[in-house]
């Protein structure tokens, strides 16, 4: 089995891999551009970025992508959601992936800007809605994913239902950590896969060394589900701050800039993500997919090398 190209609207990626967009400032322009240069699709995690910062990161990604496909991921829960979407479209971003809630308005912005919109969903019903409203592709995300979660069901259970429900390209996501699992998804009919956790260990990933080290040392028991002020559960690796969240002892925020549409104010998730990205993981949240501990070689290496390894793993699995 030869690997298929991934076609989304008028875009064609040479490899059926989307590097997942990780906020806050984990996947920036450097990582997205490096991945796009390999023939996969590179994604900037735009949530938490100011508009000028996003413009700069898109420009960085373009410079490094050598003509490859670059997109952004933005969570609907962000208060500046539409502003980020409009900024990215003005910068001629190739595509926009959106999740952590569902926006109906984004499809008109995409149509007006001739920008493909890719919806992250966890049910066949929502996939059908996205297709009807104008989505160009669907990412099916299961409970195995990192960050904010929209389901407690496995991607392997949800995927067949979504694939049957829509005629759009369908990309499998959530816990797909290596080429063997990518091969499994492709054989089940996926048009591609989205992988995020694996790329945190890329040299180009903007996470601090302390953040990456937590990925390198995480065991199966270290990966837990936490509550988030966003109103959704999230998957993270244990840190001192995460232990406080689990014990309902996380400090409430002092002041608030209302970055989310809805927030319980139990603690500040954005500040926790900023802290960990900068290296202060004892006061931060380190989001991760369920199977970070399954990565065989957790050394830091170029994103291009990671893609090469994924392709070799897929080949060994029969793809």
Specify the pLDDT at position 1: 63
With a CB cutoff of 8 Å and minimum separation 6, the contacts of 116 are 8, 9, 10, 11, 94, 95, 96, 110, 136, 137
Q: Which two tokens stand for residue 269?
A: 């998730």
Handedness of CA 157, 175, 291, 264 (dihedral sign): negative
Neighbour count for residue 180 (Cβ, 10 Å)? 16
Specify the pLDDT at position 257: 67
Specify the pLDDT at position 102: 79
Tens of pLDDT along the chain (319 residues)? Answer: 689 999 999 999 999 999 999 988 999 999 999 999 999 999 999 988 999 999 999 999 999 999 999 999 998 877 788 899 999 999 999 999 998 777 888 999 999 999 999 999 999 999 999 999 999 999 999 999 998 888 999 999 999 999 999 999 999 999 999 999 999 999 999 999 999 999 999 999 999 999 999 999 999 999 999 998 888 899 999 999 999 999 999 988 877 767 666 778 888 888 899 999 999 999 999 999 999 999 999 999 999 999 999 999 999 999 9
With a CB cutoff of 8 Å and minimum separation 6, the contacts of 25 are 45, 48, 49, 206, 274, 277
Specify the pLDDT at position 43: 98
The DSSP code for 252 is: P
Query: Can you tell me the distance from the alpha carbon of 38 to that of 16, in angstroms, rounded to the nearest whole number?
Result: 11
Query: Can you tell me the distance from the alpha carbon of 226 to that of 8, in angstroms, rounded to the nearest whole number?
Result: 33
pTM of the model: 0.94
Quickly count helices (H) and strands (E) in the chain.
Answer: 11, 14
Place of tokens 């933005």: 74
The length of the chain is: 319
Specify the pLDDT at position 243: 96
Please, what are the domains in the chain?
A: 6-206+296-316 (3.20.20.70), 209-292 (no CATH)
Specify the pLDDT at position 232: 84
Burial status of residue 224 (CB atoms within 10 A of its CB: 0-12, 13-18, 19 or more)? middle
């Amino acid at each position: 089995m030869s690997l298929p190209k991934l076609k989304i609207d008028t875009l064609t990626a040479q490899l059926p891999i989307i590097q997942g967009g990780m906020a806050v400032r984990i996947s920036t322009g450097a990582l997205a551009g490096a991945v796009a240069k390999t023939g996969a699709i590179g994604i900037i995690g735009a949530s938490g970025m100011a508009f000028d910062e996003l413009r700069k990161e898109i420009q960085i990604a373009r410079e490094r992508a050598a003509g490859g496909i670059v997109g952004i991921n933005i969570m609907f829960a962000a208060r500046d959601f539409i502003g980020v979407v409009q900024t990215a479209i003005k910068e001629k971003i190739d595509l926009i992936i959106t999740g952590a809630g569902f926006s109906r308005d984004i499809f008109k912005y995409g149509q007006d800007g001739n920008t493909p919109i890719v919806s992250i969903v966890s049910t066949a019903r929502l996939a059908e809605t996205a297709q009807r409203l104008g989505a160009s592709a669907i990412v099916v995300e299961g409970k195995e994913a990192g960050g904010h979660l929209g389901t407690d069901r496995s991607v392997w259970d949800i995927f067949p239902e979504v694939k049957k429900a829509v005629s759009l390209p369908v990309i499998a996501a959530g816990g797909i950590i290596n080429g063997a699992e990518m091969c499994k998804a492709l054989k089940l009919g996926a048009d591609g896969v989205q992988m995020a956790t694996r790329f945190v260990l890329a040299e180009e990933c903007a996470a601090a060394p302390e953040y990456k080290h937590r990925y390198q040392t995480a065991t199966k028991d270290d990966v837990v589900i936490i509550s988030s002020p966003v109103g959704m559960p999230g998957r993270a690796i244990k840190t001192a701050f995460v232990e406080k969240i689990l014990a309902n002892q996380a400090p409430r925020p002092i002041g608030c800039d209302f970055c989310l549409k809805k927030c319980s104010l139990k603690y500040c998730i954005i500040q926790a993500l900023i802290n960990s990205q900068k290296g202060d993981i004892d006061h931060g949240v380190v989001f991760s997919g369920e199977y970070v501990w399954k990565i065989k070689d957790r050394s830091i290496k170029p994103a291009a090398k990671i893609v090469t390894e994924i392709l070799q793993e897929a080949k060994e699995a029969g793809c």
